[in-house]
Amino acid sequence: MKVAVLGAAGGIGQALALLLKNQLPSGSELSLYDIAPVTPGVAVDLSHIPTAVKIKGFSGEDATPALEGADVVLISAGVARKPGMDRSDLFNVNAGIVKNLVQQIAKTCRKRAWALSPTR
């Protein structure tokens, strides 16, 4: 089984990746993606946890390499609310982020399960 976490460099994404690294069945793959350039480093850090789950990190504008072959896609990407930002502004920013990711998911893994974290 391959699981892709989109938004993996953020606080929720990193915690989710840690949980998955420890809980996925032996032989699974964990693919981490974020636009932040630190994402491959997050994967390297988690690779030191002694499990039989392979992990790889991807960054940049294109999530396709992280999505290829994924059976499950989890989206935790988005921005946190900043001081002075109202909820509609926050929604609009995050809607654009999710729209972009969903379009990439639709192209790359058409018949797979995916979930969105509504925690922002």
Q: What is the pLDDT of residues 7-48, one digit of tens each?
A: 999 999 999 999 999 999 999 999 999 999 999 999 999 999
Judge contact between 58 and 2, C-beta under 8 A: no
What's the whole-model pTM score?
0.90
- Neighbour-count burial of 93, counting CB atoms closer than 10 A to its CB (0-12 exposed, 13-18 middle, 19+ buried): middle
Domains of the chain (ranges; CATH) run: 2-116 (3.40.50.720)
- Which tokens hold the place of 27? 């032989």
| Nearest residue to 20 via CA among 58, 60, 59, 47 | 47
